[in-house]
Chains A and B, each alone.
Chain A
Amino acid sequence: MMNVSFNELQGLSRKAFIGIGFSDGHADDAADMVAWMESFDLHGLEALNAGLQHLMEEDPDTLPQILYQDGDLAVIDGQDLSVLRSSNLALELAFAKARARGLSVIKIRRCRQRQLIMGYLARLAGRGMNITAFWRNAQIPLTEQVVGFRANSSAPSIRVYSVEEVPEENEPNSGITIVMANHVDLLPTMRSDFRYDLLAKHEESDLMAVRDRAMVNGIEVEVSLWERLKVLAHMTLVASSAVSSRGAGEED
């Protein structure tokens, strides 16, 4: 393991995403999402690492498609892309609808690396939006995750739980559902008549303490992943030559 700063992680990730073929804007957002997750110790790099190969094989020209929309609802086909590539504008669409109607619901179907979407939700929460996101992490056992942000809070509340009584309709679901509200708090509170096992519970204050520690001590990164990102980032650089060396100005 090695220790890196938040800015360093964000910067190298951004260059790596550009190396993969992301546009500048999408690379900015994807890097923010990964670094944000990692600064809260929410395993952003682990998620990135697990999906990196698929990410590199995705067609950069494939775009998420709007399947349905009206004033306060939209259904998006994420085209089996990583949320690093497909979620930012879909979430901006939900944001615009919530601004206009007070509350919006957006469903992104067929998307990957859903954990990482939290980084962009944090950004929208920072712009004054209350948000809840829901998705199923696994089918067996059936595991669900709810993430809630209060407006203007930089940390979420997270609940992960497994459901004992599996409904009959239990098709694999790689989608994610997001609710945004201008004025109403949407933080998750567990309340159910059905049995469930709470697998993880992160409160805002705990996560803020984690982030503060990361800002002081830095962020631990696996050396092999760091090296992999450096290889990708290297693809943004231009080979040096005598001519290019003069491009920096004459030797001082």
Chain B
Amino acid sequence: MIELITEPAQLTPVLRPPALVMDLERLGSLNASRLSFARSLIRQMGRQRWHISCDRFELDALGHGQAIYRIQTPYGRYHAVIFSQRLDDSQRSDRVIANAWDVTFGLVEGDVEDALMTSLAENIPLQEAGRQHPRLLVISRANKSVRNFDVFVDALSKGSQPPVSLLKEAGYLYRTTAVYGNGKFGIADFGRLKENADFRRPFSAQMTAVYVLRQFSIAQVEHIARHRHAHSAVGLHIDLQRYLGIGNSTGLGMAPFLINHPQLINQWIHAREQALALAKMQIPSEEDRSQLLLLCRRAYHYFVETVVMDTHQTSRNAAVIEELSGVIAWLEQIAIEPDLWQQLTDWGEAALSLESQELLNALLIELYPAQVDVLEDAMGVDEKLDLTPDMPLVQLKQVIETHLDWALSEDFDDPVSCHWFWYRSVEKEEPRLGVRGAEDGVEKELSLAIAPRAQRTYRAISDYLEEHPRALTIEFLMAQPKFMDIIRRIQTMAATPYGEIRANLWHRDMKPIHLLRTKLSFLGANRFDPRSDRWVRVTFFQGAPLIDELNEEPADLSAFDDWSFPLMPSDSSGESAAQLATK
């Protein structure tokens, strides 16, 4: 008798199609996830027992002066150097064209000797106008949330805690307006960090600097309060400290990054999609369902508490609140089956807004750290767009038809499809949008829009093939070299699923804010508060463990693992809304 042996089916994670994932509006609906850089960093800090201590805190009664924080990791020592100065209200601007800020700071590799400190003090406050030291890994600046800052100082100096409700609108005392890395203005190149065990992940050095600024902001308000009324002043309640984040104000300056780094964007999105696919493959237990319900309820309360000024975002958040109720009801009622998560996401795709769908995906990923967290080491890539000169031109044409069909379908004869052009202004090279045909500067347009370039390339290739049907790519390029960079990009990116954002960046209805949110979500931002379709305020590290908690080296690192969607602490009882929400 022949025994039939059937091997268990090898399950492969099924990734969502690029046409779905790379839609700009969907990308503009992403929330931070456990793969976001701020989350990865806090886990790394806790796991590796980083120690952060204040080496210098020389501020006057108004909080102006210098502070230095030492960061000790198992592999190296770094210092965050912070300069605080008086800033006239009229000078306070979040635009890149500003020339002065309340606080400027940098992250230094190694120790800060006197000579280095002198150089840093001369240059960091100047930011772009300074010549920065090559041992600096990051430079940045931040402006006060004036209202929050004044109210916090006033309350603490009088011996009371500031009203927590203030933080519903702006959950921070400072908001950064630019965080520079990778060689900007003379600081260290990112290439130097490739072998650095602490900061080889993208943006981890930047997030570290921002995390330390959060601690400084707490210490500074307490310091000013003590100087104002030494006898009555109190420290900020620990729940409020934890609920404080660092804000960030981001404009169009961030947008070119998303287009100019397609391989990096592919890594980020691919890791997130892999995480989602792995999570959906898991067979859920009753415990898993309970945990997802807990996360959904917490997110629900987080959105209920969130106040944003933008009416469109307010209605998006309202939809999330309503839809999360539906998700909770669905989860409570449905029987557990092996493909429950697939059922959930299928139902979500049909029934929920993009914002709710992607929120649900981010929460689902939270359930499976063992499967997901290894992906955080796959977020970086050596970026190089290379030509394949010997590719037959007819094959290149097919590649465009297959991978850039979305670009070929755009009608660029329609003025609506060509409405905007992107350029850099002489004012600090600020990226701006101009109306084609109505504003000056189109001859200096940045080639950020991939769709029209892909379509022009396709037409030129098709024409050339009429005369030279057996031509190679290099032969076409020798005749028409201006297509070299776009062909290099098309050939390289054809091997990746998620690098190209599928949108016509010239289109009148294109919303740049979706580009900004895409990157901000991977950095780990929350509380998206658009100020226009080109400008957004967000908050980082709200709810994250404090430096003192890190230095205690707790055996239980759960607080370092899960601090997303933090809930507002209670004003009076001391019992947090987070605790109430889980009851």
Interface 9-mer from B5-13, B399-407, B471-479: B471-479
Interface members, chain B 164-215 (any A CB < 8 Å): 182-192
Q: Is A237 an interface residue (CB 8 A)?
A: yes
- In the assembled complex, the Cα of A175 lies from the Cα of B399 at a distance in Å of 37
Q: Which residues of A contact B485 (CB under 8 A)?
A: 23-25, 28
User: B131 at interface (Cβ–Cβ under 8 A)?
Assistant: yes
Tell which of B186, B252, B429 has the most Cβ of chain A within 10 Å. Answer: B186
**Chain A residues touching B, range:** 35 or more
Once A215-B192, A240-B425 are accepted as A-B contacts, the answer to whether A252 and B249 lie under 8 Å apart by CB is yes
The answer to whether A3 and B131 have CB atoms under 8 Å apart is: yes
CB distance from B294 to the nearest CB of A (A): 36
The answer to whether A249 and B252 touch across the interface, beta carbons within 8 angstroms, is yes
Residues of A within 8 A of B423 (CB): 237-238
User: A residues bordering B, Cβ < 8 Å?
Assistant: 2-8, 11, 23-26, 28, 63-64, 66, 88-89, 92-93, 95-96, 99-100, 123, 126-127, 215-218, 234, 236-241, 243-245, 247-252
B427 touches A240 (CB 8 A): yes
Q: In the complex where A25-B482, A244-B425 touch, is A249 in contact with B434 (Cβ < 8 A)?
A: no
Contact B189 A247 (CB under 8 A): no
CB neighbours (8 Å) of A247 from chain B are 425, 432-434, 439
The size of the chain B interface, using a CB distance under 8 A, is 57
A7, B432: Cβ atoms closer than 8 Å = no
Alpha-carbon distance A190/B94, docked complex (angstroms):
61
Contact A251 B190 (CB under 8 A): no
Asked whether A6 and B191 contact (CB < 8 A) given A237-B429, A250-B532, the answer is yes
- B186, B192, B534: which contacts A3 (Cβ < 8 A)? B186
**Interface presence of B533 (CB below 8 A):** yes
Task: Give A249 to B93 CA distance when docked, in angstroms.
Answer: 13
Q: Does B444 contact A93, Cβ atoms closer than 8 Å?
A: no
5 pairs of A and B residues whose beta carbons are closest in the complex: A7-B183, A25-B485, A249-B534, A5-B183, A238-B441
* Interchain CB contact under 8 A, B95 and A252: yes
Tell me whether B373 is interfacial, beta carbon within 8 Å.
Answer: no
A5 and B187: CB pair below 8 A? yes
Judging by beta carbons under 8 Å apart, are B192 and A93 in contact?
Answer: no
Q: Check if A244 sits within 8 Å of B534, measured CB to CB.
A: no
CB B357 to nearest CB in A, in angstroms, measures: 27
A57, B192: Cα distance in complex, Å? 37
Please, which residues of chain A bring their CB within 8 A of the CB of B431?
248
Are the C-beta atoms of B134 and A216 separated by less than 8 Å? yes
Closest to A76 in B: B478
**B430 on the interface (CB 8 Å rule)?**
yes
Within 8 A of A (CB), among B530-554: 531-535, 537
Q: Does B488 contact A (CB under 8 A)?
A: yes
A8: chain B residues at CB < 8 Å are: 183-186
- Main secondary structure, interface of B, reads mixed
Write out, one digit per residue, whether chain B residues 480-494 have a CB within 8 A of any chain A CB (1) or not (0): 011111101000000
Residues in A with CB closer than 8 Å to B440 are: 238-239, 241, 244
Residue in A92, A243, A245, A250 whose Cβ sees the most chain B Cβ within 10 Å:
A92
Chain B residue at smallest Cβ distance from A211: B191
With A8-B185, A240-B425, A248-B534: A96-B472 Cβ-Cβ less than 8 Å: yes
Within 8 A of A (CB), among B412-426: 423-426
List A contacts of B249 (CB < 8 A).
252
Decide yes or no whether B251 CB sits under 8 A from chain A: yes
A229 to chain B, nearest CB (A): 14
Chain A residues closer than 8 Å to B425, beta-carbon distance: 237-240, 244-245, 247-248
A-B contact pairs, 29 of them (CB 8 A): A3-B186, A5-B134, A5-B183, A5-B187, A5-B188, A6-B191, A7-B190, A23-B482, A23-B484, A23-B485, A25-B481, A89-B477, A93-B389, A123-B386, A215-B189, A216-B188, A234-B426, A238-B424, A238-B434, A240-B426, A240-B427, A245-B425, A247-B425, A247-B433, A247-B439, A248-B425, A250-B535, A251-B93, A252-B251
Task: Kindly state the separation between the CA atoms of A247 and B440 in the bound complex, as whole angstroms.
Answer: 12
Give the nearest-CB partner of B537 in chain A: A252
* CB nearest neighbor in B for A95: B389
Known pairs A5-B134, A5-B188, A23-B484; list 14 more (Cβ under 8 Å). A25-B481, A89-B474, A92-B387, A96-B389, A127-B386, A238-B432, A238-B440, A240-B425, A240-B427, A244-B425, A244-B432, A245-B427, A249-B534, A252-B535
Tell me which of B189, B426, B482, B486 contacts A7 (CB under 8 A). B189
Question: With the chains together, A247 CA to B534 CA distance in Å?
Answer: 9
Q: How far is the CA of A153 from the CA of B52 in the complex (A)?
A: 40
A23 to B537, CA, bound (A): 36
